[in-house]
Amino acid sequence: MNKRKFKVIVGNKTVGVIKKHQFLEAHVTNTRLMGVLGLRIKWMTEDEQLFAQFFHLDAEEYGLDDYVGVLAPTEEEIGFQTARMMGGLGGELVWITEREARYLLREFIKRNNTFKENLPDPLAEYDFALQEKVTLSSDEISLLWNKICEPLEMPMQLVNYFVMRAVGGDYEALNYLSACENENYRIVETPGTLLKNVTETIEDSEGTAYLTESIIDEKNQYKMILSEIRIGKTKDGLKVTRAEVRSTMNITAMEAAFGLTKPEYISIYYVEDSDACIQQLDTDKPHAMKHAYEGSYLFTEFNPTNDHVKSPIYYLNEDVYGIYYLTDEDQLLVAAYSEEKIKELEGYFTQEPFNKLIQLEERLRLNRPLLYEFVQSDYGDFFEFLADHEY
């Protein structure tokens, strides 16, 4: 699951070209180590109207990949758009200066050129924010990086982020996480996705070492990579002092799936009014990703933090709080990856108005995740899907 690829629907009040403006404030999420940022900038126009801009910045594949501007928004509209653009990223909003905001925009737009990705429309709405070329000193860049990255509180968190950024080919972030340049640590030839990372701590004559076993997806070629990572305390906090790849092995999709196996809990409901359900989910969960599939709708809600990165066993989908899939055959599938979370979600769906819109049919505990396979299939009834596939 890649929570970075979602779109924001433009609000009711939009603007054309803003010729004159005065900077008011800017906030950014401290999620750079996840490879993404959400940026919000507020301006005052020449007509003395508030103009709020929301940007989604992707460091791995797209650059500036989403934008929405709202003229004269209410506080409710600002909160709603902030949730839609940034609520799924798992971080906190931190204050940054005008120079830092302009610098971030220009830096990520450079990635659009590198990745050969078009800028989101309408460019005329935010082009003025790009006109001033901002150059930051090395100290200013370090200060900005400390703002856009969450504090590293424990070694396991640093190890997981380090491997994740290496798999994503994000060497700018690797340098931030390192006490020195780890030029020899090239875990992939092309940027991929870290699906799972298991870390074992060992003590030897040199001190503490962290041995990692990583399952990665490198353009649909699965690999298992063993690494040794050492860290140390510096004046800038915990940093990686040495990293090397011990071994690399290609594995099949089946072997990767076996390594990623974990239970999936699914509650199946009969839906009496799909439109009302969708409307209520849109209202309650603006921060959730929403995708449409020919009459069916998939909502993915993420945890409010990225604390899953602190675990010695890291899973890519561990940041998922819940998945809600409304099919075109009047079923609502509610899924989670722990018994605790599925109970919380069932509690949510027993409240009004859902208690008048849906009826619980069955609860399932599956040995491995199947919901996304069902979403990608041509089936509209989950029971038929299970029967035909002998699950």
pLDDT tens figures, 282-297: 999 999 999 998 889 9
Tell me, yes or no, whether 285 and 338 share the same domain: yes
User: Domain span at residue 163?
Assistant: 155-258
| Domain assignment present for 7 | no
Domains in the chain, number? 3
Tell me, yes or no, whether 120 and 37 share the same domain: yes
Tell me, yes or no, whether 192 and 248 share the same domain: yes
Contact 150, 307 (CB under 8 A): no
Please give the torsion angle defined by the CA atoms of residues 45, 47, 50 and 51, in that order, rounded to the nearest 10 degrees.
-50
5-9, 171-175, 212-216: lowest mean pLDDT where?
Answer: 5-9
Residues 6 or more apart in contact with residue 105 via CB below 8 angstroms: 39, 55, 57, 64, 126, 129, 130
First to last CA, the chain: 23
Q: Please identify which residue in the block is written with the tokens 């000193």.
A: 137
Tell me, yes or no, whether 339 and 269 share the same domain: yes
Per-residue pLDDT of 19-30, as tens digits, reads 578 999 999 999
State residue 242 phi and psi, 5-degree precision. -155, 140
Per-residue pLDDT of 103-156, as tens digits, reads 999 999 999 999 999 999 999 999 999 888 899 999 999 999 999 999 999 999
What's the whole-model pTM score? 0.91
Extended strands (E) in 30-91: 36-45, 50-58, 63-71
Tell me, yes or no, whether 207 and 250 share the same domain: yes
Q: Rounded to whole angstroms, how far apart are CA atoms 8 and 169?
A: 27
Bridge partners (DSSP) of residue 233 are 238
Per-residue pLDDT of 28-73, as tens digits, reads 999 999 999 999 999 999 999 999 999 999 999 999 999 999 999 9
Extended strands (E) in the chain: 21-29, 36-45, 50-58, 63-71, 93-96, 193-204, 207-218, 221-234, 237-251, 264-271, 289-293, 296-302, 313-315, 320-326, 331-336, 358-366
| Domain assignment present for 6 | no
| Domain assignment present for 191 | yes
Q: What is the pLDDT of residue 391?
A: 67
Tell me, yes or no, whether 268 and 254 share the same domain: no
Q: CATH number, domain at 162?
A: 3.10.450.540
